[in-house]
Homo-oligomer: A and B are copies of this chain.
Amino acid sequence: MNTLSYGLLSLLSHTADSGYDLMLKIQPFWPAKHSQIYPLLAQLESGGYVRHTLVVQTDKPDKKVYSITDKGLNALRNWLTLPTDEPVTRDELVLKVFCMEQGDPADIRRMLEMRLAYCRDQLQWLQTKMDAYTKLNPSPSFGILLLMEKGQFAIKADLQWAEWALARLDEREAAPGSSRADEA
């Protein structure tokens, strides 16, 4: 039972879902490909944590809809009491920023602008999700509200940093000479 397994159980504790949909839904929280999800679900099923029923569809391929079992729920509850791993962020951008003096300033600028655009996209996507969710739901899940808020906090921080960094780049380019220019 690894973290991704618990992630799947966590999703299934809200609603039964196909492997495909689980794969899509877990992306914002714990990115994983279908090639990782499908075998894991089979494993969880053989362990008795989930069970599936085949749902036949005419317009689309048939699907396996998984639901969590009592054993799965118990495992989930126990997991909640265990200590939580520290978060890990892997961002290629920070490695690039670290050695940015080696490259063309125009490349750095482009990099930061790309990040800015990415953040705006993410923020808008989240906003849409939040609107849709709160409209469709009379008394929403407290956990989901917390998460959507968490996502917003994180994206906004990244966005604000990118803006701040670009502003500092502008300052730099406006001022002639190197960082020792203020020694006048």
Name the one of B76, B100, B102, B172 contacting A99, with C-beta atoms under 8 angstroms: B76
- Measured between C-beta atoms, what is the minimum distance from A8 to chain B in Å? 9
**A interface secondary structure, majority:** helix
The answer to whether B147 and A97 have CB atoms under 8 Å apart is yes
User: A24 contacts the other chain (Cβ, under 8 Å)?
Assistant: no
The answer to whether B93 and A77 have CB atoms under 8 Å apart is no
Interface residues of A in 26-76 (CB under 8 A from B): 29-31, 73, 76
- Measured between C-beta atoms, what is the minimum distance from A91 to chain B in Å? 4
- State the oligomeric state as a number of copies: 2
Q: Within 8 Å CB of A161, what residues of B?
A: 149-150, 153-154
Q: Name which residue of chain B comes closest to A165, CB basis.
A: B146
Q: Name which residue of chain B comes closest to A181, CB basis.
A: B139
Chain A window 94-118, contacts with chain B (Cβ cutoff 8 Å), 1 for yes, 0 for no: 1111111111100110010011001
Q: How far is the CA of A26 from the CA of B87 in the complex (A)?
A: 16
Name the one of B77, B93, B150, B168 contacting A87, with C-beta atoms under 8 angstroms: B93
A99, A102, A180, most chain B CB atoms within 10 A: A99
User: A128 contacts the other chain (Cβ, under 8 Å)?
Assistant: no
- Measured between C-beta atoms, what is the minimum distance from A17 to chain B in Å? 13
Q: How far is the CA of A73 from the CA of B88 in the complex (A)?
A: 28
The answer to whether B14 and A94 have CB atoms under 8 Å apart is no
